[in-house]
Amino acid sequence: MGENETKTYPLPGFADLAYKPENLGIYRYQPGTAAAATGDKMRFKVNLINSKSGLLEPVVLEPVGKTILRQVTFKGQ
């Protein structure tokens, strides 16, 4: 994931950061496909249709609770 510093502050170590994916993939859910456990309780694998290729691809999904978005938006919770 690409990280970009968008604003700095006079206090050392404080800055606003923006994140964007390095390889943005857009997928569609294929009705009737089930998610499978990956062994990591916070991740699961599902087959999704890649919008660019039209092919089904295995994708590992992670709930928002473990992502950078959650860590920044709900810090300390």
Instruction: Give pLDDT tens digits for 16-58.
Output: 888 887 778 899 988 887 888 777 777 889 999 999 999 999 9
In the Cβ-directed half-sphere of 70, how many Cα atoms lie within 13 Å?
7
Q: What is the CA radius of gyration of the chain?
A: 17
How is residue 5 written in tokens? 């510093």
Are 74 and 63 in contact by the 8 Å Cβ rule? The answer is no
pLDDT in tens, 52-76: 999 999 998 877 665 666 555 555 5
